[in-house]
């Protein structure tokens, strides 16, 4: 088992001011309350309703540029492919494509989203352990940059399909370097016990086999060791050193290795974590692979999109029960799943200017879904939040909307993007008609009041 990232539950919670200081797109205005860029969040809630995801275009741009700059400044020949799973909203992907980012996709839906957002096929990488034949067919038809293969079985399937179509599919072999990313066990991927990639010891023989397959054009290697990596760069360093030796070994066998996809995983501070910087990551890539003579690729999701988004929600009601204070919101685990699924900590800020400086008492912040796991925070210090007060969950731009469901028949929330003083709805709130659409009651089910 991977050791979970150490939790610092005993460390004092960051104050509202601490949280704001670290998040340049957010500020408080004495009259308008919490703002994203130049737009009061209350205005968006008023116009669009709640719950609503709100993304900062400025933050997305700034972070995409910071990452690309760090790679360039380290002298690396690298391309960045945004992990679409973290936020597949078309406006987000299109904005990042405009910054020159490609896309990392893991399904037909994500491939279609990336293309619809304007990502060129030549910038798309298809990852994932279970690509279906239909997905492979689409990837071949679109002539995407590469498919990252996860097993010999998958290679054989793709080879046969490509040959039957008279094509060659560009592929990289995803290697599992067996390093512990020291993150949450549910999001570590680079250990032998995980389902991802092929064990590094078996890679040389398999790579040679792949190179002999007529339907494949083998372009290199890929890896991804885990997500929300916050314990420095040592896990990355170990993985890239292993990949570097593998590149040399394959080349010594006369096999071509043009590029290495270094995966994603760079963590962000949700609470008080101090993750490595893009510059530190770039330096680590350089140390492991800089002299391997390969083109490099990166597949970050969270680092770019996470800090760019908030989830806006309204208080339905507060209740006191058995000495505990419960703040019940109109957002729930079906919207933001991370606290229920990973016990993730997200900052929660009140939106109203008065609430920002009001006295605080501990509260359990919960949603209305009928599960105890529908709890966003326990014992969080918050001011009094009368019904209809607004709160914002921070760092909800990655694995937020993308992990939502309609559990409890709750429609998917709206999504908005702020750009300076301007803002636009980038996904309408799902309507109840859409929620029920596509379902059928067969004629052989007798409804109440109908004759049997
Ligand atoms: N590449 C591959 C092959 C991946 O599997 C992932 C994420 C990424 C790139 C992007 O990783 P990132 O840079 O975003 O860490 N739902 C979880 C995270 C799951 C990550 C899955 N794979 C969460 O909310 O924390």
The pLDDT of residue 94 is 99
Q: Where are the domains of the chain?
A: 16-56+306-436, 57-305
The pLDDT of residue 231 is 92
pLDDT, tens digit (0-9, with 9 covering 90-100), for 419-445 = 999 999 999 999 999 999 999 999 999
Q: Which CATH code of 3.40.190.290, 3.30.70.20, 3.20.20.10, 3.40.190.80 fits the domain covering 57-305?
A: 3.20.20.10
Is 173 in contact with 203 (CB distance < 8 Å)? yes
DSSP secondary structure code for residue 192 in this structure: T
Binding site membership of 56 for ligand 1 (Cβ less than 6 Å): no
Q: Which residue has the higher pLDDT, 260 or 3?
A: 260
> How would residue 2 be classed by pLDDT, with cut points 50, 70 and 90?
very low
Provide the b/e sequence for 254-282 (b: ≥16 CB within 10 Å).
ebebebbbbbbbbbbbbbebebbebebbb
pLDDT, tens digit (0-9, with 9 covering 90-100), for 283-341 = 999 999 999 999 999 999 999 999 999 999 999 999 999 999 999 999 999 999 999 99
Strand order in the sheet with 26-29: 26-29, 33-36, 39-40
Do 16-56+306-436 and 57-305 have matching folds? Answer: no
Binding site membership of 86 for ligand 1 (Cβ less than 6 Å): yes
Binding site membership of 223 for ligand 1 (Cβ less than 6 Å): no
pLDDT, tens digit (0-9, with 9 covering 90-100), for 26-45 = 999 999 999 999 999 999 99
Residues in the chain: 452
Whether 370 is catalytic: yes
Does the annotation place 399 within a ligand binding site?
Answer: yes
Distance 452 CA to ligand 1 centre (A): 52
Binding site membership of 300 for ligand 1 (Cβ less than 6 Å): yes
Q: What is the number of other CB atoms lying within 10 angstroms of the CB of residue 94?
A: 16
Distance 300 CA to ligand 1 centre (A): 8
Predicted confidence (pLDDT) at residue 155 exceeds the cutoff of 70: yes
Predicted confidence (pLDDT) at residue 6 exceeds the cutoff of 60: no
Is 247 in contact with 253 (CB distance < 8 Å)? no
**CATH 3.40.630.10 for the 16-56+306-436 domain, yes or no:** no
Ligand 1 atom nearest to 399, measured from its CA: 24
Residue 126: partners with Cβ closer than 8 Å, 6 or more residues away: 105, 106, 111, 135, 139, 144, 146, 147, 148
Binding site membership of 102 for ligand 1 (Cβ less than 6 Å): no
Using H for helix, E for strand and C for coil, what is the string for 329-379? ECCCCCCCCHHHHHCCCCCEEECCHHHHHCCEEEEEEECCCCCCCCEEEEE
Mutation to probe ligand 1, out of 264, 267, 393, 398 (largest number of atoms < 8 A from CB): 264
Two tokens at 137? Answer: 């067919």
Does the annotation place 133 within a ligand binding site?
Answer: no
Whether the bond between 51 and the residue before it is cis, its omega within 30 degrees of 0, is yes
């Amino acid at each position: 088992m991977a050791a979970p990232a150490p939790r610092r539950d005993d460390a004092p919670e960051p104050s509202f001011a601490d949280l704001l200081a670290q998040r340049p797109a957010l500020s408080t205005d004495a009259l308008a309350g919490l703002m994203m860029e130049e737009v009061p969040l209350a205005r968006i809630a008023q116009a669009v309703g709640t719950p609503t995801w709100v993304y900062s275009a400025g933050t997305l741009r700034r972070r995409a540029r910071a990452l690309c700059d760090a790679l360039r400044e380290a002298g690396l020949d690298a391309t960045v492919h945004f992990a679409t799973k973290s936020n597949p909203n078309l406006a987000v992907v299109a904005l990042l494509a405009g910054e020159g980012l490609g896309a990392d996709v893991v399904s037909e839906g994500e491939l279609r989203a990336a293309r619809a957002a304007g990502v060129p096929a030549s910038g798309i990488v298809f990852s994932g352990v279970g690509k279906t034949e239909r997905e492979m067919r689409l990837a071949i038809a679109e002539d995407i940059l590469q498919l990252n293969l996860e097993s010999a079985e998958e290679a054989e399937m793709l080879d046969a399909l490509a040959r039957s179509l008279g094509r060659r599919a560009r592929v990289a072999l995803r290697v599992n370097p067996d390093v512990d990313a020291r993150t949450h066990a549910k999001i570590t991927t680079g250990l032998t016990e995980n389902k991802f990639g092929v064990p590094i010891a078996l890679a040389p023989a398999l790579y040679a086999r792949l190179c002999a397959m007529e339907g494949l054009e083998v372009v290199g290697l890929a890896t991804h060791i885990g997500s929300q990596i916050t314990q420095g760069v040592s896990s990355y360093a170990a993985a890239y050193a292993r990949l570097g030796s593998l590149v040399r070994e394959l080349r010594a066998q006369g096999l071509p290795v043009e590029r290495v996809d270094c995966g994603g995983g760079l963590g962000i501070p949700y609470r008080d974590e101090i993750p490595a910087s893009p510059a530190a990551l770039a330096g680590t890539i350089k140390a492991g692979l800089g002299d391997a003579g390969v083109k490099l690729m990166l597949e970050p999701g969270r680092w770019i999109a996470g800090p760019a988004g908030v989830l806006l929600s309204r208080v339905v009601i507060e209740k006191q029960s058995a000495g505990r204070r419960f703040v019940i919101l109109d957002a729930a685990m079906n919207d933001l799943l991370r606290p229920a699924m990973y016990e993730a900590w997200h900052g929660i800020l009140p939106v109203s200017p008065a609430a920002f400086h009001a006295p605080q008492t501990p509260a359990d912040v919960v949603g209305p879904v009928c599960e105890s796991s529908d709890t966003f925070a326990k014992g969080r210090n918050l001011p009094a939040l009368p019904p209809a007060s607004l709160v914002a969950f921070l760092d909800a731009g990655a694995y937020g909307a993308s992990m939502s469901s309609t559990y409890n028949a709750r429609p998917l929330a709206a999504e908005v993007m702020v750009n300076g003083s301007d803002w636009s709805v980038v996904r309408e709130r799902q309507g109840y008609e859409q929620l029920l659409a596509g379902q059928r009651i067969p004629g052989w089910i007798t409804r109440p009041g109908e004759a049997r």
